[in-house]
Amino acid sequence: MICCTGVDAGSEWTRVVVLALENGRVRWLGHAERRSEGWADSRIADVKAVAASIQAALEEAAARAQVPLTSAVVGAGGTTVGCAVSRGGYEEGYCRNLEQHDVDLVIERASRVQFGEDQMPLHICLRDFVLDGRAGVRDPRGQSAVHLEAFVSLVTFSTREHDALVNAANSAGVVVEETVFEPIAAAYACVRREQRRAGVAVIDIGADSTDLVVYQGDSLALARGLPLGGQRFSKDLAQGLSLSLEEAEMLKLQYGSLVAGENADQCVIELPVPPGRPPREAPRSELAFILEARADQLFRLVRRELRRAGLEASLLGGVVLCGGAARLEGLCEVAERVLNCQVAWGVPVGIRDWPTELMDVSWATAAGLAMYSGRLKQRRLERERRGLLSKVFG
């Protein structure tokens, strides 16, 4: 049995999922969830505190799975994530059959980009190839051409944030197999291949930021971190209803809905009050109004990014919402109105024995990170098998 672990270290919660890789498929072994410490505004402020949160979640997950956890795929995200498109090509001056080394060369040239002072490549994702001016080629090997060109999407991340995240995971006792942009991982767990080909956006709404990826024709077309998350919804309630942030968060979880309903003005909610103060009430419609205004702003930010990338009308596969802050009732309806396409919650699929209580948007990223680890290990097994066969058969 091969163990695959995903660590979703968010600014509010740290979640760990452990899977077993068996005959090319994954099976649930264990999971854990702990409150996060050491974060400020979606960035790591205290590496030791973040490491302690990760370690506590890892130990609990290891005890449940009854296996030692020594390595993991770790999620990365936040407002320092960006995306750029790059191209690279060459020609020999004569028509020839293209081979693997030709493909490797143009991808390597496309990846030669001068990054900013605090930027590093997190992912290099192939978009397509151009053969003698013919675009949209997915695999040029075996075809004839004079000029070959590759287009790649470069997902970038803060070097400092990456180093802090890796150091925290290492301090928690695990080797980092790879760092993965969190909505890319979530897509592994909750997006079908047909959706990718048709065009789909995955929106991971966290506590302090919202991460976005778009797939178009099976290729990554856009990746971005947006500076608005679930905490902003809670702060709006706190300011609008004169509550503490903790009281507003509790109210959001208990009564939060962006759909007021027909009799919402008559439906009142008792608000928390300090000891000795008279009771206070607010109509449920007021909560809905406050939350809907912020949700509308969030999806307008998403729409702006889609428009800038020329993808606003390209989401025939719809939009998938995940992340702990995506649980709000009525959020899908607001997203559909603003983005003008079908929107659904993203829950993990394709994992044997996955517990019913984890069929929730908050677990999509951690599940996807563990599935990503499974993919890395499956590919390693296949390479080892091919190497063994070449030794046997010469």
Structural domain includes residue 221: no
In the prediction, which pLDDT does 388 show? 41
In the prediction, which pLDDT does 304 show? 98
Question: Shortest CA distance to 161 belongs to which of 267, 324, 9?
Answer: 9
Number of neighbours of residue 198 by Cβ within 10 angstroms: 17
Q: What string of pLDDT tens digits covers the 394 residues of the chain?
A: 899 999 999 999 999 999 999 999 999 999 999 999 999 988 999 999 999 999 999 999 999 999 999 999 999 999 999 999 999 998 878 888 999 989 999 999 999 888 888 999 999 999 999 999 898 898 999 999 999 999 999 999 999 999 999 999 999 999 999 999 999 999 999 999 999 999 999 999 999 999 999 999 889 999 999 999 999 999 999 999 999 999 999 999 888 888 765 555 568 888 888 887 888 888 888 999 999 999 999 999 999 999 999 999 999 999 999 999 999 999 999 999 999 999 999 999 999 999 999 999 999 999 999 999 999 999 998 887 765 444 333 3
- Please identify, among 233, 263, 292, the residue that sits at the C-terminal boundary of a domain: 292
Structurally, how many domains does the chain consist of?
2
Under 8 Å CB-to-CB from 379, ≥6 apart: which residues? none
Structural domain includes residue 328: no
In the prediction, which pLDDT does 260 show? 64
Structural domain includes residue 192: no
Structural domain includes residue 127: yes
Structural domain includes residue 366: no
In the prediction, which pLDDT does 178 show? 97
CATH number of 105's domain:
3.30.1490.110
The residue range of the domain holding 112 is 82-158
Structural domain includes residue 314: no
- Please identify, among 292, 312, 328, the residue that sits at the C-terminal boundary of a domain: 292
Structural domain includes residue 112: yes
- Please identify, among 231, 264, 292, the residue that sits at the C-terminal boundary of a domain: 292
| DSSP codes joined into one string, 279-292 | PEEEEHHHHHHHHH
Which amino acid is present at 266?
Q
Cα–Cα distance list, 228 to 41, 63, 166, 367 (Å): 10, 35, 24, 23
